[in-house]
Structure 1
Amino acid sequence: MSENAKAEPWIPGEHEDDDAKCPVGLVQQAWIESSMLWFVDQFGKDVVMRDIVPPTRDFLPDPYFGKDHEVADLFFGKMWQRFEPQVRQVLLSLDKAQGEQGHRKNGARAVGHYQVKDGVPFVWLDPRLASDLIYLVAVMAHELCHVRLIGEGRVDPDRKDQERLTDLLTVFFGFGIFTTNVALEFEEADRRWKAHPIGYLDEYRLNAARDNGVRCLGYLDEPEFGYAMACYAWLRGETYPVWAKHLDPGPRLYLKQGLDHLSAEARPGEFPTTRQGRVSIRIVSGDPLASLPLCLRVPRRDTG
C-alpha cells in the first residue's frame, strides 16, 4: 500500500445494529481486552501512546539493499530502540543452514525463531526475509516481543497462548500495521485451489510455510488482529485513526467494526468484558484458545 493510500471514512457510533457487533467471539474478545490491559500494567501506558510505526520511509531504511549488515543495523537500531529490551544482550543469526537444520515444526519451515542459549536470548531470522522489508520488520517485531515476554521472565514459554500473546504484543508496541496486513485470495487452477497473497505479508506469514497444501497464516486471524487494532486505538483515544489507511481492506473493516462496538458498549479507555461482573478469563491446560485454527487449509490435488 502506498504512502498516499486513503481509507474509507467512517464515524464510530453512527452504524446499523449489526455493525456494533464485536468482530470476534466472546472468549477471543475477553482475551484480547484483558491482555491489552495486562500490557499496560507490564510496559506502561506511554508505550501504547507512542506514534504507530508506519510502513513508509519514515521508519523503513532507504536506500536498502538487503545486505546482512543492513538487517543487523535495523534490528539493533530502530527496532531495538522501539522495543527497549531489558536484557543485556541478544544474539542475532542470519545463517540459512542453521534454519534448515533446526527450525522446522510439524513440517513447516520457520522464518524466525527465538530461544535462549546459555542464558542469552537468541534470535534467528531466515536470510531470505531480507528481500522484503515489510515482512522482515513483521518477523523482527514478533521475535523482539518474545524477548520482552519470555526473555524478561514475564510469561512462561510453555504457556498455552504464548505465541498468540506475542502476536498481540506487536500491536501494543505499534507494529500492528505490519503484522496485521496478511490476506489471501483463492482461485481454482488445474483442479487445485491456490493461495495468492494480497497484502504486505505473503502466505508464509510470521512462522512457517508448508509445502503440502497448507499455508500457515500466523497465530491470530484477521478478525482478531482487526479487533486488537481497535483496542489499541481505543486505548489511545482514537475513534477515527488516520493510520487505518495503511491496513488492508479486510483488517480495516474489522477495525471499524471493533471501534463501532467499543463506542456502543464501553466508556473511553475501558473495555466491555473487563468491567466488574462481566467476563473473566484465565489460561489453563486445554484452553480453547490454544486449539483455534492457525492454518489455512488448501485442498490437495485429487490423485485418485
Structure 2
Amino acid sequence: MDENPAEPRPWVQTVSDDCPVSEAQQVWIEASLKWFAGEFGREPLNNGIVLPGPNLFSGYTGTPRQINRLIAAVCTLMSLNPSDLTVEFFDLRDEDDSQVREEKRAVGHYYVRDGRPVIGLDVSEASDADYLTAIIAHELCHVRLLGEGRITAERSDHERLTDLLTVYLGFGIFSTNAALRYGKATRGFSVQPMGYLDERTLNAVRNDGYARIGYLREPEFGYAMACYAWLRHETEPSWAGHLDPGPRAHLRQGLAYLSRHARPGELPTTRTDGIPVSVHLGTKSSLPGLHFPFPVFRRSALPPAPPQR
C-alpha cells in the first residue's frame, strides 16, 4: 500500500505556533507580568504553582472551620496575614431568584471599612474547594493591588489585572478553570457566574451554547499560563494536566509560540514608550553567595495601559 508521508493524517493533532491572543492582548499580558515582577519580586515564580488537592485542603468538605483554614492557607501563599483582614460570608441561596436575576450576582467582593480590607465570599458552593479557592484568590489579589495602593479602582482594567495577578501568584489553575463553569439545569446547561457579571449579561455574550465568566477570556488565561511557565523555564509543565481541555490547548499553543520567539525565562515583547523590547527575568548568579531575586529591568511606576480592543 502506497502512502504519502507528506500527507497530513487527520488523527494526528497538531498545535499551532501562532500566539493565541491578539497583539494588543499579548503586549498587555507580558507588560503586566513584567510589572508584577517589579512589584512582587521573583519569589512567587520561584515558589511555583499551587495545585488542587490535599496539599491545600486535606479532607475538605466545606465546613466553616475548613473554609477559614482555606482562606488562611491562600493568605499565607499570597504573603498576606489573615488577621489583617475581615472576612464576610453570604449565601446566594438565601436571596430571591428573581432578585438575583435582576441584580448583579457577586460571588465575592472587596472593599475597605475603617481602613481595614474586607472580602466577602459566597458560600453557596463552599463544598467545591477548587471553585471557592478561585474566588478567594481573586479577592485577595484585590487586597494586594487595591488595598496596598498599587492601583486604583478607576483603572478600566483593574478587574482583568486582578485576574492576571492570580496567575503570577501561583493560583492560575484555579482561576483559569473557574473562568468557564456550567451547572446542570432543567433545560440544558446554564452559566453559574463568577465575578460581578449577571447571568443574563453572560448568556448574551454569545449564542452558540457557551458563555464566558470572569474578566480574562479563555485564550488570555491560556497564554498567561504559558508565559508563567516560560518565565519559570518550564517548556513542558507537568501541571498542565490540571487545566481544563480548552485553556490547556491555549497553554500549549502559547508555549509553541514562545518557543519560536523567545528563550526560556524571557518574553517576546513589552511596551516601553511604544517600542517592543525583550524582557528577561533574572535568575541566580553563577557567583557564589550572590543572587538576583528581582528582574533585571527598571521597575515601572505604573502598570501598563489596558489593551485597546
What interval of TM-score do these two structures reach, taking the shorter chain for normalisation?
Answer: 0.7 to 0.9
TM (normalized to structure 2)?
0.74
* CA contact 1:36–1:172 (8 Å) conserved in 2: yes
The correspondence of residues 90-169 of structure 1 with structure 2, limited to 5 A, is: 90-96=85-91, 107-169=103-165
Q: Which amino acid aligns with 2:308?
A: P
* CA contact 2:101–2:200 (8 Å) conserved in 1: no
Who wins on radius of gyration, i.e. which is larger? Answer: 2
1:250 — aligned with what? 246
Flag the 1:33–1:60 CA change in 2: closer, same or farther, 3 A.
same
**Could you say what the CA RMSD is over the residues aligned between the two structures, in angstroms?**
3.3
User: What SS does the corresponding residue of 2:117 show, helix, strand or coil?
Assistant: strand
Quick check: 1:31 aligned with 2:31? no
The correspondence of residues 266-281 of structure 1 with structure 2, limited to 5 A, is: 266-274=262-270, 277-278=275-276
Q: Deviation at 1:288?
A: 3.0
TM (normalized to structure 1)?
0.76
Flag the 1:282–1:55 CA change in 2: closer, same or farther, 3 A.
closer
Quick check: 1:84 aligned with 2:82? no
Deviations 1:25-56 (A, max 9, x none): 00000000000111111111111121311111
Deviations 1:235-256 (A, max 9, x none): 1000000000111111111101
Deviations 1:89-142 (A, max 9, x none): 110011338x969x9898321100000111110001112131211110000000
The separation in 1 between residues aligned to 2:38 and 2:171, in whole angstroms, is 19
**Match among 234, 239, 245 for residue 230 of structure 2:** 234
Flag the 1:279–1:59 CA change in 2: closer, same or farther, 3 A.
same
Flag the 1:237–1:65 CA change in 2: closer, same or farther, 3 A.
same
The separation in 2 between residues aligned to 1:186 and 1:144, in whole angstroms, is 26
Flag the 1:106–1:142 CA change in 2: closer, same or farther, 3 A.
farther
1:46 — aligned with what? 43
The separation in 2 between residues aligned to 1:65 and 1:266, in whole angstroms, is 43
Q: Which amino acid aligns with 1:288?
A: Q
* CA contact 2:218–2:246 (8 Å) conserved in 1: yes
Quick check: 1:217 aligned with 2:251? no
* CA contact 1:109–1:208 (8 Å) conserved in 2: yes
Deviations 1:73-92 (A, max 9, x none): 2112x111101127971100
* CA contact 1:138–1:206 (8 Å) conserved in 2: no
* CA contact 1:160–1:283 (8 Å) conserved in 2: no
The separation in 2 between residues aligned to 1:250 and 1:183, in whole angstroms, is 9
The correspondence of residues 55-66 of structure 1 with structure 2, limited to 5 A, is: 55-62=52-59, 64-66=60-62
Unaligned runs of 5+ in 1: 1-14, 197-201, 290-304
The separation in 2 between residues aligned to 1:96 and 1:122, in whole angstroms, is 17
* Equivalent pairs, count: 260
Flag the 1:150–1:86 CA change in 2: closer, same or farther, 3 A.
farther
* CA contact 2:269–2:277 (8 Å) conserved in 1: yes
User: What SS does the corresponding residue of 1:94 show, helix, strand or coil?
Assistant: strand
1:9 — aligned with what? none
